[in-house]
Amino acid sequence: MTEVAAPRRGRITPEREAELYGAVLDLLREVGYDSLTMDTVAARTRSSKATLYRQWGGKAELVARAMRHHKPGSIADVDTGSLRGDFDALLSQENDAALEEMSALMRALAMAMHHNPDLRRAFRELLIEPELDEFNRVLRRAVDRGEVRADNSALDYVPHMMLGAMITCAVIEDRPPTQAFFRTYLDAVVLPALGV
């Protein structure tokens, strides 16, 4: 697999970039990934298509970078001294409106990812893998502190548990996931599976 090209920033201001990503996510919610075209993005944001392709390479990268930009906070900054504390700090960076929006966007992309290898690749490289790396740093610190055994087999499945809870909450409970839902789920499932 070739690597996703880094966007050539510096040609547009951070404000303009944020505005553009916001428009991409609006369009994604309105029409879905398959019907989203670079033409529509160009029209909605009053950009030229040439600029969009030069800066982002294609639709898949543009959508993945828009999702990543939209994700509030970063677990990289979190180091409270306990795994429960780290998860708690991570959750506090989100708010219920952002969680609901992210859950809706993930559902909007779930089918498109199935049919579009480009989107799957961009999504993995720009969103999933950096997130997994950060999760793994948090978990490795918990192992180093002796909170979690190094051979605990649930360590490999923390992303499945968290992302799975976000997606299934909406389907099973017919309501978007909230901070409160995630806190209960962490205490009921994730920490016990890790033996904490």
Q: What is the CA radius of gyration of the chain?
A: 18
Q: Does 97 bind a second copy (CB under 8 A)?
A: no
Which residue in 8, 50, 74, 195 binds a second copy (CB under 8 A)?
195
Footprint on residues 24-43 left by a second copy (CB under 8 A):
32
Based on the shown chain and the rule CB under 8 A, indicate whether residue 170 belongs to the binding site for a second copy: yes
Q: How many CA atoms lie within 13 A of 2 on its CB side?
A: 6
Contact flag: residue 163 with a second copy (CB under 8 A): yes
Minimal CA–CA distance to 41: which of 20, 57, 60?
A: 20
Q: How far apart are CA 9 and CA 155, in angstroms?
A: 36
Closest CA to 177 of 102, 105, 111: 102
Whole-angstrom distance, CA of residue 139 vs CA of residue 150: 10
Please choose, out of 78-86, 90-98, 140-148, 155-163, the segment that lies near a second copy by the rule CB under 8 A. 155-163
Binding site for a second copy (CB under 8 A): 32, 104, 107-108, 110-111, 113-114, 120, 123-124, 128, 132, 153-154, 156-157, 159-161, 163-165, 167-172, 174, 184-185, 187-190, 192-193, 195
